[in-house]
Structure 1
Amino acid sequence: MGRGDRLVLRRNDFMVCAVRGRLFIGNWWRSYSLYAPIVWLAVCLAAAQTAPAKRFEFSLLDYLTRLRYSSGQHADSRLFFVGIDDTTQTKFGRWPFARVFHGELLGFLSAIQPAAVTWDILFSEEDGINDEAFIQGIGMLGAPVILAASTTASQSEHSVRGVNFGLTQPLTRVEGGNAVPDHESALIPVEALRKVCFFGFADSVPALDGVRRKVPLVLKIGDHFYPSLPLQSLMQFWKLQPQQLRIVLGDAIYLESPQVTRRIPINREGEFWINYRYEEDGFLNGSYANLHDELGRKYRNEPVGSLPDLNGKLLVVTLTSTGSSEIGPSPLNERSLVPLVFMNVLDNILRQDYLRIGNAWIIWIGWLLAAYATVRIFEHLDFPRAAAVLSAVVVATLAAMYFLFIKGNLWLPLGVPVLGFVALQLGSGGRRLLQEQQAKRKIRNAFSSYLAPAVLEQVMKNPDEVKRGGVRKPVTILFSDIRGFTTWSESAEEKVFIAQLNEYFTEMVACVNRHGGTLHKFIGDAIMAVWGDAISTGLENDARLALRAALDMRVALAQLNQKWQAENLSTHKIGIGLEHGEVLVGNVGAPQRMEFTVLGDAVNVASRIEGLTKYWHVDIAVGEKARALAGDRFLSRTLGHFRLVGKQAATAVCGLIRELQSGESIPNLVRVYEDAFSAYVAGDFKRALVGFEQYLEMEPGDYCASHYSEICREQLSKPSAEPWDAVHVSRAK
């Protein structure tokens, strides 16, 4: 095999692959409603795992949270937020000030008897004698004290393996802990404090946008599981032992004791989704310094100013001062105190006000079902309706998302699914738009040669008007024919004949187009045109336009004859027949070749009326239906009543003269003729003869008047024994 043969084979292989590729893409595109939902589902599932998609979903969650937020709402009254603020640092010194003041505060609180006191502060370094004072205050309080620990703030050298955690005991009933991150190091309270205090881990890792939306309630330190700061605080608030908590990772933390039962939802990593409701003003709160002073007065039995009721409450002490407190974004505030994260967690659990997350599988299965249910519906809607329905579906989905969040604390992450659904339907709309454009191109290619430009534009706007298989429509049909065409075609020089015939067709088609008709076909020298098939402007107007086109063709032929005569070419006459009737309109034929046409009896009638013109020596003949629809704007005279070939009933046919000017009355000449013809039909031959002869005096040599005058004379000289019938039997096909 030579190199050239190999190149040919490669080109052929390439062409085969290209054709197969186009066929595959075309078949897939045509089967869009079958495959597209699955494809878009895969795309959406992949996109949902990306950072931008997650940020988008979280932004929708934050937006819903802000919509729900009300500054007049208040958190659970069992919580009290104590802030070490600027006033406190002015009084006790810059942070960290001596822990002796913490001991004093706890000692003063012993007279109030709170349920528990949590310090959202790390005490991981010793403070000597101040720690002793702190421990003394803890002993005086008589209520559990919980301190903060952290894995996120620790370094690898702070290993806690083998370290005695003091009062803090591990959680023993944990199921399914493989997904919880394992920590080997942590910052925990100093040993002296661990012996008298509980501690919990204050870990809260912000998302990519800096917002903390979930916090771990259970952490794995070494080989054991320990509670977070909020969970430890509530354990001590409710006096729960570790064995009274059953942790099922991926499900919930179950609190099982006589005094309290709770189901706290967590994910596989032991994390809790925060249902943000409050900023600082939503919690009962007070300044550390003010509380220290007022409690001191009460402890010393001195007059007390304003002192909140702290009995039985869970107090949370944290930093709020400028420059010392940790600030970060939350769904409610771009600059929020990070300790409010835990305050919201505590409130959520106390009130059982949990944020529930929609099941992703249910969401995507529902999406797929909705996609299949709607994609085929959208394919059959035009663009405005599809856009309106799509907008309504999206708005309804977002409204349901808002309602479920507000009323049921259920967050459905529907941002990506909604965008995917819109993309799916836009793809369907794009496919439909492409199909429409292709269909319009086919229509334009198919109809541009025989539709008037204005009519073609209407068809392009309403392509359903032209359907394969056809619809029944009332139309006005025009047939024209060149007289003596056979003789002319046989005697003329071929090139001259073709050029002259093309010039004739050009002018005649222009007349049809000018008046909004559809050129259906050339049959030899004959022309067939129709009004009202592709686009109708009303039955009456269709008929008037057809008659105007016929009159225009008469003028155009006269101008052509004048030109041809000047060029020493043959001149010609034409006959034009018009009639109105109901026909079948549409694309008819085989898939390989379709033809837009009209079928029906009215087509045959119009053709046979055109055939009468050569026998009755007129150039335009109009059937009674078309003449009646056109109205009184057109001047005509009756050619006769004819029983056409294949018809039983007679048809009145008129010869079209011209269009009357506005306000113009019927000329006397035509009145004389019509009166004579009426007398002729009634069998009053004497009066009819007088009228026809009077007409011939004004129009000498008129064939119709001469013909009817001759019949009248025959009937007067030799009356027929048969009943009079004015109908002519036509043999012209």
Structure 2
Amino acid sequence: MTRLQLTRWLVRQSIPLFIFAGVLLLQWSAPSGLARSLQRLEGLLYDAKVQYLPPWPRSVSNIQIVDLDEASLHEIGRMPWDRQHFVKLSDALAKAGAVLVVYDVLFSEPQANAALLALQSWTRQTTLPDAQRQDLLEHASQLDPDARFANTLRTTEVVLANLLHRHGNLRTGQLSPAMFSVAQQRPVGATAFEPFSGFAAPIAPLAAAVRGQGFINAEEDADGFVRRVALLHQLDQQLYPSLALEAFRVYSLLDQVQPRWLQHNGGAYLQGVQIGSSLVRTDQQGRILIPYRGGARHYPYTSAADVLAGRIKDQRFDQAVVFVGTSATGLADLQATPTALNFPGVEIHATVFDGLMAPQTLPYRPDWWAGATLLQLLLAGLLCLWLFPKLGPLGSAATTLSLLLLSISLNLWLWRTQMLDLPLLSPLLLVSLLSVYFISYGFVSETRRRKQINAVFDQYLPPAHIQRLLADPASVSLAGEKKQLTVLFCDIRGFTTISEQMSAQQLKLWLNQYFNALTRAIQQHDGTIDKYVGDMVMAFWGAPLAEQAHARKALTAAFAMLKALEALNRSFQAAGQPVARIGIGINSGEMNVGDMGSDFRRSYTVIGDAVNLGSRLEGLTKFYGVPLLVSEFTKAEAPEFDYLLVDKVRVKGKRIPIRIYLPLEPDLAPAQRSQCQLLQQALDAYFHRDFSAAQLLLQDLHPQICRPQDSYPSLDLAPLINLYLQRISVFNHEPPPPDWDGSHLHS
């Protein structure tokens, strides 16, 4: 190779070398903002291993969780509970055979002795001999709820929780002496722990009576997920155990657990925690990876209300370690974990306790992980620099896939067989970036974004929309996303009868005219046609282009559809063909929108509960005899229109009633608008249970109703008036219950 050739080769390789150096920099010295993103990606890869390749064995002990769940809060009351419930709960679990009860509940505040307070107030106002007053006070003191709970703790095997924090020197309750649980001897030069300055611990009577205490602090990664937990934390130069570690110590009948240190070059580094004859390997801050065994509720859960009420008749708690905590949403003890986004914190402690039963199977990251990762990056980088320049696009792609699979397989093998957790993102990132560079080096990439947009959306959108999308391709995404949209459903009333009056060819031509008129009205008001199903038209507003006034445009389009149908029906009548009557349902809300379907057929569409409600509203137009119905959510999005409240309904699958409205066209005739106002007064009286006033108004209004010829031709209020007169007639004979909210259930 000549000097010139060597120079050109070095120039060509400078970018790959820069990529290689950049990956090394990102692995060990990434900027803080980018480091969080990389940690998130690394965390996702770790989460996949936890979900699909757990190396740990089945549980060897009976671990149960007693849940202070929503049912318990509903039956017993909101937290904090009276101490008598915990006295009863502890006694019930002990009688059921539990060998240890672990509370993931803070008892850092005393409970007032109501009897003592009342007696003190009474004795101050009453003249009693001193001896009698003292006897009464001593008797009331014996009723102290904290004292009764402490007495229970002395006779049962219980571990309580505390919380360490860094909020100044605020300290509540009393910590058990650290040396009772953890050996405190540390060699000179030992790695410093990140210290805490305050705590919330059980109150002194409970702390003195309980078998042990442990902290319940969560260790969140940069992305907010809990993947590891500390077994030890430092406060006032003392090491304190976690709740799971302390529970395991008490369960194992050990006096202490012993931190193990490795002394090297004048320093001492934490290797792990010695528990009896077993070593639990940790990082230098005393943390372990949590051995999640699946999603939430892997362990058996029992409602605390069932235990307190004596409804548990089986032997589930016999020889069990019982963790007591909460899965109730309002008590803020749900964590994001690799296996579930709402994972009860109490089950995390139970999982760690379970892992301590077989510490040799706990995954860990060894001290030499940095050197191993560097060696892997060097080998992968040199192999890519040697192979890729010699290969074509297909060969480079195949080599890239092989290297990626090799890196993943090696990482998973070490995880599965050696319980080693090594970084996976940096090798994958290096191979991927180098392959992209070398493949791109041989090709000139040409974007086809404009053609893709035109091919996908020209069947849904008006031409003006297509031009806007092509002018700004970044404004649209084919990927699924949640957006605030408005959806419209339109259907022909009595279509089966109409279809029976015409031949197949006549029906096709008749439907084509109908769909053309309605589609034109929708597209003129910037609507996106979703689909045609039989005689049904579905459209939505607010996607793919963002539209703030999506509800207003949907309503304007609906009025335009009714007017277009009026003109179309005149032409149908002149040709001797059946006329069309339609019902339109409109709803606004959060919907999933995107290019959805299968490999064989796809469609840009919307799905979600808000879409289903729009479809239900279209079906209800026939029940109420009106051409157009909108939900209260659409009304809130488009307040510039006038509305007539039609009903409060509860549709299938929904518990909360929804108000549905008939929008009034802006140029509605004054006489008809006056009738709508009178009808609204009648309905207001009806929903306020004033059925007599409502009946009088409806009876007075009924003879006035007629179908207008000059405006809003599809509006006929007579069916709605008759419907409410029938309801009032029923209520006059059988009044509604006291809790009646005016809603009507539609199945």
TM-score normalised by length of structure 1 = 0.49
TM-score normalised by length of structure 2 = 0.48
